[in-house]
Amino acid sequence: MRPCDLEKNREIVFHALPAGQAERALALLAGLEGLKVTIGADVYRLQVRYHICEYTLEGLETALASQGFHLDNSLLCKLRRALAYYCESVQRRNVAANEPDIKSQQAFMKAYERHLHGDCDETPEEWRSYK
């Protein structure tokens, strides 16, 4: 995974009512460290930039909803939101996954090398070379 894959640029879309939600949310989120927030293309949108290990879109939107903000719940926004939530949760799990323990694998390989290999057939040797 490239480091830039962990930096996310997302858009938070607010419902039209009550008016001024994006500006109030901007003031609230601007104080968070590691989060860059700007007003989007219109007065209902915020552009947020964050590192996936520090924040998630789901966490930000849940926090805003708990503070009384109303997000846009149109079908397209719900689909985008669900896709972003899923992708970020998978990425966070993949980043947190530990690398395999090489030493335990090497110990298993040493034990396997010492194990007697060969034909496990219990047929007597004299029957195998019958001519």
Of 123 and 59, the structure prediction assigns the larger pLDDT to 59
DSSP state for residue 14 in the 8-state scheme:
B
Give me the CATH topology for the region 3-96: Alpha-Beta Plaits (3.30.70)
Q: What is the mean pLDDT of residues 67-96?
A: 93
Whether the per-residue pLDDT at 106 is higher than 90: the answer is: no
Q: What does the pLDDT look like over 23-36, one tens digit per residue?
A: 999 999 998 999 99
CA dihedral 119, 121, 127, 128 (to 10 degrees): -30
Of 68 and 131, the structure prediction assigns the larger pLDDT to 68
The full set of domain ranges for the chain reads 3-96
The confidence score (pLDDT) of residue 124 equals 75
Whether the per-residue pLDDT at 98 is higher than 80: the answer is: no
The confidence score (pLDDT) of residue 125 equals 75
17: closest CA among 71, 79, 65?
A: 71
Percent of the chain whose pLDDT exceeds 90:
55
Whether the per-residue pLDDT at 131 is higher than 70: the answer is: no
Q: How confident is the prediction for the chain on average, in pLDDT? A: 84
Cβ neighbours of residue 58 closer than 8 Å, sequence gap 6 or more: 84, 85, 88, 89
Cβ neighbours of residue 79 closer than 8 Å, sequence gap 6 or more: none
Question: Which amino acid does the sequence have at 104?
Answer: S
Strands 36-39, 7-13: pairing is unpaired
